[in-house]
A and B are shown apart, each in its own frame.
Chain A
Amino acid sequence: MSAQAAERDLTAIIGLEVHVQLETDTKIFCGCSTDTDDADPNTHTCPVCLGLPGALPTLNEGAVEAAVKLGKAIDADIPERTRFHRKNYFYPDLPKGFQITQYDAPICQDGELEVGTADDRRAIGIERAHLEEDPGSLQHVGGSIEDADYTLVDYNRAGTPLMEIVTRPDFRAAEEVRSFLAKLTSVLEYLGVFDAERDGSLRVDANISMVDSAELAGEGGPSDDVLEAANRTEVKNISSHRAAQKALAYETTRQRNQLERGMAVAQETRHWDEARGVTVSMRSKEEEKDYRYFREADIPPLEVSDWKDEIPIPELPDARRERFRTEYGVGDETASKLTSRKAVADLFEELADEYDAALAATWVADNVLGELNYRDLSLDDVADRDDEFERLVELVAEDEITAKNAEEVVLRTMLDEDRAPDEIVDAEGLGKTSGDAVADAVAEAIAENPDAVADYHDGEGDALNFLVGQVMAKTGGSADPGQVNELLRDELAQA
């Protein structure tokens, strides 16, 4: 083959293995809590998840339910019977020397997930999705895994339920992978089985091969022969949607350059180095691993068919998007934006039901998300401030402040200075009718307190202070006391 660079019409063929942590109260095979975020190492453990001699796993039905929900959401076949196997290998984070996983009878088979791509929506095939246990986590002290002084092991994570989702090689570009992961986590979040904010809740391995685009002509994707011939590279250590896109864009370009220079792409495992933004070849070429899978006799086969019909799933992002379009008259793109995260959709729907749908859509999809995005935040970061966003939209809806002020002053100050909308409106004097409101309160206070008015006219100084207090109470403390004082004197002089 010529070493001369030659442009070739190449297409990337990408498939994923995605590990997601399922959000359950307890671990998959014991009663230990999974809420380990701020816990000291090895405090959420018991004989079972530490793999002590004699301990036995008992299956957490909550994890099975979560898996069934995902299976229903991706329209997968859920077999009547499912069972567990042991995957045997030695690693310090693996307490039993084997991982309990599923092998020949996964709980979900042959599903699909529709994702938006550059020009249309496309179904990505999901070959299988199975349940397994997470190992513990390692902390290398004094260096990397290669040169650390020593390594600490924390088994808090050991036994957290994981779902391994294996896609078909249906992706053609890095952006599609990002869309898929966003959609997948969105669906999981709608199902209430996933916490995107939890560290390590999403881990992705990607297989990528570059093939001549001509091989892909026609329906049905690349043939097995084509995939076989293209050397497959596995990229590991991807832990976010963004990282997936960056790693695969990098890897696609690297392989394309390699091939265009007439060099072969090695079949190897590469590691995504997030800090440097590159993939690196894993130094030691791992030999073909033999995991000696065999049946886990400690967990009897599970008859899922008995109860899968009784496990309901909620409205999912696609259905909610369509409903927003028809029910609220929201445009397609806005509806997608509003439904990608459940929290966003919930906020929109609450506002749209209370005020005007178009106003709510603009505020949530454009203003709030826009300003959050600009600050590299998500709605999760301000999850406890829904009431404040609602109040802000109320102020606009009730015409108490201008839309321009609401967005450019109030919203931005809310996010930058962590202050409540009313406080900002008052401090900045943005209230359209604030002067009138104080004047009304002054008039009311005078009308309601003839005795105090009489006392004032009799020259009792305390009477004015009493009336100021009344006005302050009526305005909820938002009026300026000096201004109130002045207004009262003026009014009383005329009375």
Chain B
Amino acid sequence: MSLNAFITETTIQGAADGPLDGTTVAVKDNISTKGVPTTCGSKMLADYEPPYNATVVEDLLAAGGTIVGKTNMDEFGMGTTTETSYFGPTKNPVDETRVPGGSSGGSAAAVANGDADLALGSDTGGSVRAPAAYCGVVGLKPTYGLVSRYGLVAYANSLEQIGPIAPTVEGAAELLDVIAGPDEHDGTTRDAGADADYASAATGDVDGLTIGVPQELTDGADDRVVERFEAALADLRAEGATTVDVALPSCEYAVAAYYVIAMSEASSNLARFDGVRYGTGGGFDGNWNETFADARADGFGDEVTRRILLGTYALSAGYHDKYYKQAQEARAWVKQDFDETFADVDVVASPTMPVLPPKLGESLDDPVQMYLADANTTPANLANLPAISVPAGDADGLPVGVQLVGPKFGEETIINAAAAVEQ
């Protein structure tokens, strides 16, 4: 039985040689591929074929990689389970009755199932790390500005980055080497980190490394998850690392701040889907506004509609200060908390997800419960920091992921620490 990991299976051949020669790569379906459908998991873009390649796709192909398909995802990245896709849910290859996590669930499932050697996902609030944790693979969200977003269909553009998913830390680092670096098409990319050799950083030598453990991010997690997490920390200590308790009080507000900001930005980013230039049209009845409304009502699913409406509300006159502005203040506080913490520690560790992968269908009826599962992943997006999820064994036969967050452009540090967890 198929996992439904791909929306489009195809072969896009890369250059004759390069570091990814002979490597197959699955690409999340919100990353533009020239002439190949890029649906974002939405009816709105079911027939949309971009006339251009995302910068990361150009990078992949130039490095000799072969793209084998476009992977399933929560519609426009809005979900933590890959169940909001117009093309149906993806199943977790470890247990097909469970979700693979999301929103890059198709990419993580494809790698875990061996359908692709590597994959690209995008991470707005945990969308690379959550499915990596649930599927038992490695997923890395880079520092904001390390990887070009040109061609990534925006959900929340101040928060998201494209990131690699791989069976191993070294594999993820190799893919990061290919896609990292400044891009003239993305004004938010930076030179920092472009010349690093991420693959060589995956040594697992953690002797002398200081790991901060915030109580806030383990409180309330499933006991079986916490047990695996504690075991991983013990292994790291055995390798010479030191673990210390740190406080990140702002993280209590991270999920709320994240959702207000992400939904606000989404309400604007998704405004272009009005049926005029591409996507489903609204027909020719009524005035422009009615036609736009028809196109949008027809093309967007429930979760996307919910987030656009809430985001529009949060930015509206009279509510902007109460929601959007407050969320920005919380975001600044989260950044400050991490800045202060990284004065004392090299990485911050926590479980990636507070729970084990839910059953298919379990989360859809209770969006707030689904949002709360992002408690540990959203802080890194709010603070623009790099974060990696690495497998830390199983609990009841289901994978558990450990998340390591580093300082800005500290990818080499978290890759190294993750390699130690992996061993």
Contact = CB atoms under 8 A, between A and B. Distances in A.
A and B found bound together: yes
A290 B38 CA distance: 32
Contact of A53 (B32, B268, B276): B32
Contacts of A52: 50-52, 277-278
A59 B186 CA distance: 10
A153 B50 contact: no
A294 B268 contact: yes
Contacts of A299: 187
A153 B276 CA distance: 9
A390 B206 CA distance: 82
B154 A57 contact: no
A295 B157 CA distance: 11
B268 A86 contact: yes
B271 A88 contact: yes
Contacts of B276: 92, 153
A55 interface: yes
Contacts, number: 102
Interface in A413-462: none
B184 interface: yes
Given A47-B52, A56-B185, A97 B271 contact: yes
A47 B274 contact: no
A53 B48 contact: yes
B312 interface: yes
Contact of A290 (B151, B271, B274, B317): B317
B50 A54 contact: yes
Contact of A58 (B32, B185, B270): B185
A90 B292 CA distance: 8
Contacts of B50: 47, 52-54
B268 A292 contact: yes
B82 interface: no
A97 B153 CA distance: 15
Interface string B40-56: 10000100101110100
Contacts of B187: 56-59, 298-300
A206 to B, nearest CB: 25
A292 B321 CA distance: 11
A51 interface: yes
Nearest to B144: A297
B224 interface: no
Nearest to B149: A56
A54 B150 contact: yes
B324 interface: yes
Interface residues of B, number: 45
A292 B312 contact: yes
Interface residues of A, number: 29
A56 B183 CA distance: 11
Contact of A298 (B188, B267, B312): B188
Contacts of B388: none
Nearest to A289: B317
A355 interface: no
Contacts of A92: 274, 276, 288
A95 B273 CA distance: 9
A57 B40 CA distance: 21
B305 interface: no
A261 interface: no
A300 B272 CA distance: 22
B158 interface: yes
A92 B275 CA distance: 10
A295 B186 CA distance: 16
Nearest to B145: A300
B315 interface: yes
Contacts of A172: none
Contacts of A153: 276
Nearest to B184: A58
Contact of B154 (A47, A54, A59): A54
A97 B288 CA distance: 13
A96 interface: yes
B264 interface: yes
B271 A297 contact: no
A50 interface: yes
Contacts of B186: 56, 58, 298
Given A47-B51, A297-B158, A90 B288 contact: yes
Nearest to B187: A58
A94 to B, nearest CB: 9
A98 interface: yes
B211 interface: no
A97 B273 CA distance: 8
Interface string B13-53: 00000000000000000111000001010000100101110
Contacts of B359: none
- Name the residue in B154, B268, B312 with the highest tally of chain A Cβ atoms < 10 Å from its Cβ: B268
Interface string A376-409: 0000000000000000000000000000000000
Interface string B312-334: 10011100100010000000000
B117 interface: no
Contacts of B274: 90, 92, 97
Contacts of B289: 90
B177 interface: no
B123 interface: no
Contacts of B315: 88, 292, 294
A96 B32 CA distance: 17
B265 interface: yes
Nearest to B288: A92
A59 B184 CA distance: 10
16 contacts: A52-B50, A53-B153, A54-B31, A54-B151, A54-B152, A54-B153, A55-B150, A56-B185, A56-B186, A59-B187, A90-B274, A90-B288, A90-B289, A294-B320, A298-B187, A299-B187
Ranked 4 nearest A-B pairs via Cβ = A97-B271, A297-B158, A292-B315, A53-B153
Interface of A: 47, 50-59, 86, 88, 90-92, 95-98, 153, 290, 292, 294-295, 297-300
Interface of B: 30-32, 38, 40, 45, 48, 50-52, 54, 149-154, 157-158, 184-188, 264-265, 267-268, 270-274, 276-278, 288-289, 292, 312, 315-317, 320, 324
